[in-house]
Amino acid sequence: VVLNQDVYATPSPHLLTKDEISTVNLFKQNTPSVVYITNLAARQDVFTLNVEQVPQGAGSGFIWDDKGHIVTNYHVLKNASDVRVTLQDQSVYEAKFIGADADKDVAVIQIDTDKPLKPIKLGYSGNLEVGQNVYAIGNPFGLDHTLTTGIISGLNREIASGNTGRPIENVIQTDAAINPGNSGGPLLDSSGTLIGINTAIYSSTGTSSGVGFAIPSDTVQGIVEQLIKYGKILRPSLGISFAPDASVKQLGVSGVLVLDVPEGGPAYKAGIRKTTRDDFGRLVLGDVITMIKGRDVTNASDLFRALDQCSVGETVEIEVLREYSKQVVEVTLGDRPSA
């Protein structure tokens, strides 16, 4: 006699779901492309006077091409006397600095190796959607090749570069955990292609609070290609120094107050006036920039955004508030190296 019984199968502890298998494969396929970067600084021993190289920071990066170019954040390399790169197999190489864009916090270094390298697969960040899955691989707190997952929480964010204060636009916001050491690592979509560089977190403690930011790959690609080819990026410049926004607000003025106009620069040639003092020591305000090429300028971020839409050598109309009247001045923009 055969008894009808319900049969219950005990699931294997190693049985993975389809989504888990996809995540595991994504990690395995992309881990060889992610590197650990150590920033070394020269320090002199106070007793022996010997100069030693001491680690002063660390971060992540990823292999860009088979020529050994590696992309990371500029702030990972800032003030380094030497940079070392550790690959997945734990082999360590000294890296050559190729170039950086401090405004956008992107840098390129290069290692010389005969080993075959696996460049990361470049994706497209122009069609991202809020809610889609993302994956961050990096080296948080020195723990090499760590994977965190999350979603895109927001698009078209703007953050300030920690290096220059200039705005970085179209930034990706994610809740994938990004901690110290993740900087410079890749943010991937579910197909394993690069959609951004993990660059910053919003946190009061310095650790992940669920609000991380990544520079989109479309922005990164253009920067990296120029850095590899020319070693630098030139951005248009007025050739001025200006007052902090807070100081301008205290004066009850809207715009960018020109403090100094170095001789021979674009603004100097165009006759833009700097802030001075009269014979009695009283402050005489310089020109206040209120518009560039038809775009309103109310603060420094507006100024940088307007200049980002211009080209070196381009002649643009700039509206300034001079004393009590507005005037239009034509300025031929100069160039300013990015780093």
Tens-place pLDDT, residues 208-263? 567 889 999 999 998 999 999 989 888 888 999 999 988 888 888 889 999 999 99
Identify the band that residue 204 occupies on the pLDDT scale cut at 50, 70 and 90. low
What positions carry a catalytic annotation?
75, 105, 183
Q: Give me the amino acid identity at 315.
A: T
DSSP for 263-307, written as a single string: TTSHHHHHTPPPPEE-TTS-EE---EEEEETTEE--SHHHHHHHH
Tens-place pLDDT, residues 151-190? 999 999 988 888 888 888 899 999 998 887 888 999 999 9
Residue 1: predicted pLDDT? 45
Contact indicator for 105, 199 with CB cutoff of 8 Å: yes
Helix (H, G, I), strand (E, B) or coil at 323: coil
Model confidence, pTM: 0.77
